[in-house]
Amino acid sequence: MIQNFLSDYGHLVTWVAVISSFCFFASLLIIPLIIYRLPDDYFLHFHEHNKMEDKHPLVFIFLRLIRYLFGALLLTAGLLMLFLPGQGLLTMILGLILLDFPGKQKAVDRLLQIQSIQKTLNWIRAKENINPFHFPDTQK
């Protein structure tokens, strides 16, 4: 039965393994770099950190398109990493931050309520001797 599946869908299994490996290793490299660059109060005021608006309209549209594509890629990779190896929740948070949609603040705040996510984000920053993040007090 498994042998029949592999003979019929072996190429699909290979592609899933390749994509999984790529997402895993890319997340190990890219996620910490993004976390290092964010200011320590980013999650308190992350909706105010948009510096693209004063650019030329074509540059603004191009940068926003790149931002949304990268955000969608990170969100998709994060969802996949919930089932495959990788830092799924951290990747999803960074993808959500890059996207704009109704309820974004609430979704990010809900994920940031998870203590293990807060500890992991600050642990990554501590490895480079960077000040820890300040998180919103969402205990209402």
For residue 75, what are its two tokens? 């969100």
pTM: 0.66
pLDDT recorded at residue 123: 93
User: How far is 103 from 135, CA to CA, in rounded Å?
Assistant: 18
Question: What's the whole-number mean pLDDT along residues 15-20?
Answer: 80
For residue 93, what are its two tokens? 């948070």
Half-sphere exposure of 140 (CA within 13 A, CB side): 6
In the block, tokens 């950190």 appear at 49
**49 pLDDT band (50/70/90 cuts)?**
low
Tell me the longest C-alpha to C-alpha distance in the chain: 60
Domain positions in the chain:
2-126
